[in-house]
Amino acid sequence: MARNGFGIDIGGSGIKGAPVDLIRGELAAERHRIPTPQPSTPKAVAAVVGELLDHFDWQSPVGCTFPAVVRGGHTMTAANVNEAWIDCDADTLLERETGRAIHLMNDADAAGVAEMQFGAGRDVTGVVIMLTLGTGIGSAIFLDGKLLPNSEFGHLEIRGKAAERRASDRVRKDKDLDWKAWSKRVEDYLQRMEALFWPDLFIIGGGVSKHHERFLPLIDTRTPVVPAELRNEAGIIGAAVWAQTR
C-alpha cells in the first residue's frame, strides 16, 4: 500500500477532502472544504471534486464517500443531494470530469472501514456494526473485518417508523429530547439490532458521538457499545483506504 492516499467526503452541505497517511490512519494535511453546489447535480459536484484535487495538486487514485447506496461505481439512491445521482455511473462521470481515477463508496461504509482499521474496531473479530447517528442513521456491518456494503439499517422499522425517524440525532434535536429520553430510543433500536444480528460490538459514530458520555452509559444492551474514535475524519480516511483496494 502507498504511504499516502486521498479521501473526499461528499455531503449535502459541504464537500471535504485531504491527503491521508495510510500507515498512521490520519490526515496528512489540513482538510479543505468547499460548500456543496446547489443544485448538487453530478456535473456540479464533479467540478468541486476537481477543485479540491487541484487545491492539493493530487493526481493519484481517490476514494470518495457519497450519501447513497453505491454499487459497482453506480449511485443507486440519493440522500440530501440532487436526484440526478439516482442510477448514475458516478465513478465514470467523476473520472471523466476530473481526469483522476475516483472510486465512490457509501459514506457510512467509509467511516466503518476507517474505524475497523484505525479506530474503535481495530483488532476486533466477529460481527461489528457501526451506526452513525446524525440527520439519519447510517450503518456499516463487518464480519472479521470484511465489509458487507450498503446496509441500510437506519430504515429498520421500530414501533411503526423507520429507526432513523425515532433515534437519529436530528430527532433528538427536533423533539428537544433530553439525553435520557433519547437514549431509550437508541436502546430500543440497538436491542432490535441485537436480536437480528447478535453482534460482538456496536460502534456509535456521527457528530453526537463526541457527547457519548451523556448517553452511552444510559443504554442497556448485551453487546458492548463504544464511541467512534476518528469522528469527522473517518469518512475521508476510510475512502482513501478503500481507493487503494480497487
> Tens digit of pLDDT for each residue in 133-188?
999 999 999 999 999 999 999 999 999 999 999 999 999 999 999 999 999 999 99
Go through the chain and tell me how many residues it has. 246
Domain 4-109+233-243 matches domain 123-228 at the CATH topology level: yes
The predicted structure's pLDDT at residue 80: 82
pTM for the model: 0.96
Which amino acid, residue 39?
P
Q: Where are the domains of the chain?
A: 4-109+233-243, 123-228
Q: d(Cα 201, Cα 84) in Å, to the nearest integer?
A: 37
Q: d(Cα 93, Cα 78) in Å, to the nearest integer?
A: 16
The predicted structure's pLDDT at residue 2: 75
Tell me if the domain spanning 123-228 has CATH number 3.40.50.2300.
Answer: no
The predicted structure's pLDDT at residue 4: 95
Q: For cell 444510559, what's the residue?
A: 218
Q: 48: closest CA among 9, 74, 105, 101?
A: 9
The predicted structure's pLDDT at residue 1: 62
The hierarchical CATH code for the domain 4-109+233-243 is 3.30.420.40
Name the stretches of the chain with pLDDT < 50.
none
